[in-house]
Amino acid sequence: MNKDLERWGYKESGKNLNSRITTHKNFAEKDIDAWVSKLINIRGGEKILDLGCGDGKQVLAFGKQLDRSGEIVGCDISKELLKKAKVTARENKINATFLLQSMDRPFAYEDEEFDLISSFFSIYYVKNPIKVIFEIKRLLKKGGRLFIVGPTPNNAKAFWNLHSKIVNKKIPQIALSRRARIHDIFIPLIKKYFKNVKISIFKNAIHFPNSEELIKYYSSSLLFEESSRSDKKKEFFLDNMKKEVEKTIKRNGVFDIMKEVYGISAYK
């Protein structure tokens, strides 16, 4: 496994990530924060590190559960998303600081600095999972906990199959490997280096009311970005996807994508 660890590290633009985050906020059937709150108990005075904090969604959710002695550090590689996170924290009076930093780089913190380290839809982007897991373990206090959310191998499976039909190609192995990265790489590493590992699965439908919202979501995905190098072909794919979606909406009144993600908790 070791020689393959760096092969699947990848990046997306902040604009595309933010587009999909907004879609989830607007059209998801269930509230993932309610699910998370049942799995992880935030204590008032804790110090938390949120890896890949994006626009601060989780910083806000956790921050509301902390008291004045609690603190959150959010890190991300997107300047654009961090600006939004800072505004969100300030407007909601959250005691938060932010770092423009990749998870693949060591952090300038002493050992055992944090009570909780979280990562929501981000840790599977790293180049070297083992180094990241070791750094997380170093940063956690004794008895501290890790909480990770990321896709299962079945995440959006039906939609991926539709994409395959549209482009008339099998899903590339690299894309399948990315989707399975939490299952194939991170869960085994967490089980090896942490204690009391618990794995939960959250299923959540994204209800698209029209083809325009679906196309906006689809065109912001890596699945679409990597479908072809030709802009002409991409336009063709978008047109065909729109036709398929509109047929479903005409029949059912809505087009659904079923998301399926892991919630993984573990202790040092």
Greater model confidence, 11 or 185: 185
- Show the domains of the chain with their CATH numbers: 2-153+173-204+259-267 (3.40.50.150)
String of DSSP letters for 194-255: -EEEEEEEEEEEEEESSHHHHHHHHHTSHHHHTS-S-HHHHHHHHHHHHHHHHHHHHHHSSE
Q: Is a pLDDT exceeding 90 seen at residue 173?
A: no
Contacts of 247 (CB under 8 A, 6+ apart): none
100-150 tens-digit pLDDT = 999 999 999 999 999 999 999 999 989 899 999 999 999 999 999 999 999
Burial of 33 (0-12, 13-18, 19+ CB in 10 A): middle
> Is the predicted pLDDT of residue 266 greater than 90, yes or no?
yes
User: Is the pLDDT confidence value at 264 over 80?
Assistant: yes
CB 228 within 8 A of CB 237: yes
Sign, CA dihedral 226-29-180-106, equals positive
Residues in the chain: 268
Sheet holding 96-100, edge to edge: 96-100, 71-76, 47-51, 114-120, 140-151, 255-267, 195-208
pLDDT (0 to 100) of residue 6:
42
Determine the average pLDDT of the residues in 179-199: 97
Which H or E element spans position 98?
strand 96-100
- How far is the C-alpha of 180 from the C-alpha of 204, rounded, in Å? 18
- Which single residue is written with the structure tokens 């595309």? 16
Report the chain's mean pLDDT, rounded to a whole number. 92
Q: What token pair was written down for 44?
A: 């008032």
pLDDT, position 16: 76
SS3 59: helix
The string of pLDDT tens digits covering residues 11-64 is 566 677 778 878 888 999 999 988 998 999 898 899 999 999 988 999 999 999
